Amino acid sequence: MTTYNTGNPLGSAAAKDLYDNAENLDHLTNDMANETWPDRLGRPRKTWYGIEKNANQAILNYGYITKDSFEDGSTLSTANECLRWKSNGEYYRWDGNFPKVVPPGSTPDSTGGVQKGAWVGVGDASLRADLKKEEGAGLVGYQPGMDYPYGSVGAYLNASYAMLPTVNIANYSSLKEAIAAIPSGGTVYVPAARYESGKWNVNADSMNVDNIRILGERAPTWNSTLTRLIGGSVIAGRFIAWANNLTVENIGFDNGRDYINSKYPGADTTTASHPEGNTWDAFVYGAPSTGLEQKNGLVLRNIIGLMYNSQALGHAVLTEGYSHGRLDNVTGIGGSHGVIIKASDVVATGIFAYCQSENGLIIKADGSSNCGNVFVHDFTYAYKPRNTSPWFEPAYAKHGVDIDPNARTFNGPVYIGSVHTSGAVWGVHGAGLMPLADVHIVNIVADGLADNNAIVGEYAFIIDGNNSSSRIRIDHVRASNCKRGIYLNQPTENPSAQLSIGRCEGVNITNAMITALAFARIFIDQVEGTTVGSLYFMTTYAKIYVGSERYSIITKSKFQMDGGSTGPSLTLGWNSASSENEQYEFSLKNYRASVRGFMQVGSGATANIVSLPAALQPVSPGGRYTALMLGSTGFVNSHISVTDHIRVQDGTLPAGTQFVSLSGLEWDY
């Protein structure tokens, strides 16, 4: 746009119009960015740059005139002339000013470079050369090891890369028959429809072909009453496998009510065995017997296992007896157990469980499998899936998560990023026949509220003391609507045994928020309680160490101890002074016991001010602490000693004592 833009007619000799004309001429001849520029009267005009570009495109539309060569030397005069570089066979056109003189012995780089405004490749020699490279397939968006939809170029390249055949389950009577058609391995493609699994038995007739991939067109979902899986690739009936390098993607395994009632009318799934033996599982990857060598390489992605109801015997998705596994977006609905990981070196993300009677997620080592180096990114348990009205009354799982070194110790750590449980009786449970060690959970959110708003949750996190435990770490736990929050029972004395928690929150806890039994040691950086029965419950030899505490509304007493004791308590005759003075409080902070308060001597008072339970008595009894006392002669400095009591001096209350300050009193216990 011109500067003055007077709008005067053609032929105007006004100075402003002459200035605008000069400005327009400058753009029309020298502008190398705009293909058009408005004239003095606002009409768009082609710049010389725009005219050249249109002319070059018109020339290019007639095709290229090829010439030789960079090595021999040449001169290019028009935009549709291109020069060959003999060393790679590629042709290049010149994108700059003409004529372009290329001396003998030249290369594209030595005469301007390959870039905008210089040489531009117009052949496919460089593309063909790049495609021959090791990473060449990436030029068309393909990456080996990634998953591609059936029928795509990526899927074809995957199949070619693996050199394994692909069969379509629609051409066979069952999944079992389709796999039998590829005895050396390959892919079974499962279109979006329902197909029979076939008859399998974990002890005698499981799928044992290595290198099988079962690929669904799309993952299904469940109907609102949880009677069947719908809307995707569904295998109807139990599937049992144990083989190396099994991959299953976008599949629902339906052992729900509709299928069971049609296939096995009148079957009892709650107490009787499956007609083909064992339990009524939906998906099983497991060893036929104990003591066998572990398999390698299980991948489950976008998988659902549906059981008959909450009481059906078996597992929605059972994986055991392998190492090097990957589970992504795996959901178990119904049954005794939801999703089970009994394996080593496993990464799992997006694990969901609903409607189980026993366990939502199990991480376990037993006679069938080692277990360790298990990384679960996130897990969610709920009483039922959202927006469903199950045909049965769902159970509240005994354990949202069960971490169980049963017949074997874990052979590596267990790491869980996030646990959310809603309606589990025990949110996270850890215990087994073998010692439990090296478990790290980043975040636990456990809500024990039932569907009818009753409290069914007993514990957010519990280790119930079947065996010793050590090096258990929780970064954050939030317990709500539970009878208790954290519970640790350590049956034997073990200095290294401990549970450490970064931040522990409790909301609406009817009993103790944190419980330590026997020889338990619990370390918590920050405690926050709102509407709790008690903050702490400790037995004689148990310890709870706290960095800081904050609370409101304690409905019982802050401390509960063995034998129904309410913990540290003022003895007869001792009370807090008037409300404008510091009131008595016994706290756990800085990982020590702490007392404060300006205490008043009353009738019957002795030198013993506070009675201490064994769990809170000092490590080195009898230590002396300076204290301010007010007697008949005024304020004096005296001392306090701490043994089984907090007492004035060494047990003698000076005559005339009226007040004693306990503020700043702390000790190790």
Q: Which two tokens stand for residue 290?
A: 């104990």
Kindly state the average pLDDT of the residues 622-649. 85
Determine the pLDDT at residue 283: 98
**Does residue 656 register a pLDDT over 90?**
no
The distance of Cα 307 from the centroid of its chain, to the nearest Å, equals 25
- Percent of the chain whose predicted confidence (pLDDT) is above 70: 90
**Does residue 537 register a pLDDT over 80?**
yes
C-alpha 193/C-alpha 175 separation (Å) is 13
Kindly state the average pLDDT of the residues 469-484. 96
- Percent of the chain whose predicted confidence (pLDDT) is above 90: 69
**Does residue 16 register a pLDDT over 80?**
no
147 confidence band (pLDDT: 50, 70, 90): low
Q: Using one digit for the tens of pLDDT, what is the confidence trace for 362-412? A: 999 998 899 999 999 999 999 999 999 999 999 999 999 999 999 899 999
Per 3-state DSSP, what percentage of the chain is helix, strand, and coil (rounded to 5)?
A: 10, 45, 45
Q: Which residues pair with 317 in a beta bridge?
A: 283, 339
Q: Which two tokens stand for residue 461?
A: 């996190």
26 confidence band (pLDDT: 50, 70, 90): confident
C-alpha 409/C-alpha 471 separation (Å) is 14
**Does residue 333 register a pLDDT over 60?**
yes
128 confidence band (pLDDT: 50, 70, 90): low
Strands 81-85 and 90-94, by their bridges, are: antiparallel
Q: Which residues pair with 470 in a beta bridge?
A: 437
**Does residue 57 register a pLDDT over 90?**
no
DSSP-derived 3-state class of residue 420? strand
**Does residue 254 register a pLDDT over 70?**
yes
Determine the pLDDT at residue 124: 66
Which residues, in sequence order, are CB contacts of 156 under 8 Å at separation 6+?
A: none
C-alpha distance from residue 216 to each of 235, 252, 431 (Å): 10, 9, 38
**Does residue 161 register a pLDDT over 50?**
no
493 confidence band (pLDDT: 50, 70, 90): confident
C-alpha 377/C-alpha 347 separation (Å) is 8
Determine the pLDDT at residue 145: 45
Kindly state the average pLDDT of the residues 286-308. 92
Q: Is 612 within 8 Å of 646 (Cβ atoms)?
A: yes
C-alpha distance from residue 624 to each of 68, 181, 432, 613, 640 (Å): 101, 84, 45, 19, 6
**Does residue 572 register a pLDDT over 60?**
yes
Determine the pLDDT at residue 429: 98
DSSP annotation string for 85-109: ETTTTEEEEE-SSS-EEE-TT--TG
Kindly state the average pLDDT of the residues 277-288. 94
C-alpha 230/C-alpha 300 separation (Å) is 19
**Does residue 144 register a pLDDT over 50?**
no
Q: Using one digit for the tens of pLDDT, what is the confidence trace for 108-118? A: 999 999 988 89
Q: Which two tokens stand for residue 93?
A: 């056109």
Determine the pLDDT at residue 457: 97
Report the first-to-last Cα separation within the chain, whole angstroms. 84
Determine the pLDDT at residue 568: 94
Kindly state the average pLDDT of the residues 196-221. 94
Task: Tell me the Ramachandran region of residue 455: left when phi exceeds 0, alpha when psi lies from -120 to 50, beta otherwise.
Answer: beta
Kindly state the average pLDDT of the residues 350-359. 98
> Residue 433 burial by CB count (10 A; 0-12/13-18/19+): exposed, middle or buried?
middle
Strands 608-611 and 645-648, by their bridges, are: antiparallel
Determine the pLDDT at residue 160: 52
HSE-up of 500 (CA within 13 Å, CB side)? 13
Q: Using one digit for the tens of pLDDT, what is the confidence trace for 580-628? A: 899 999 999 999 999 999 999 999 999 999 999 999 999 987 778 888 8
Kindly state the average pLDDT of the residues 629-653. 86
**Does residue 61 register a pLDDT over 70?**
no
Kindly state the average pLDDT of the residues 446-469. 93
DSSP-derived 3-state class of residue 338? strand
C-alpha 556/C-alpha 566 separation (Å) is 9
Kindly state the average pLDDT of the residues 453-463. 96
Determine the pLDDT at residue 126: 56
DSSP-derived 3-state class of residue 367? coil
**Average pLDDT over the chain, rounded to whole?**
90
The model's pTM is: 0.76
**Does residue 509 register a pLDDT over 90?**
yes
Which of 354, 469, 343 shows the shortest CA–CA distance to 420? 354
Q: Is 417 within 8 Å of 377 (Cβ atoms)?
A: yes
Better-scored residue on pLDDT, 134 or 622: 622
55 confidence band (pLDDT: 50, 70, 90): low
Kindly state the average pLDDT of the residues 234-245. 97
Write the DSSP symbol of residue 114: B
Crossing angle of helices 48-61 and 15-30, in 10° steps, is 30
Determine the pLDDT at residue 89: 83
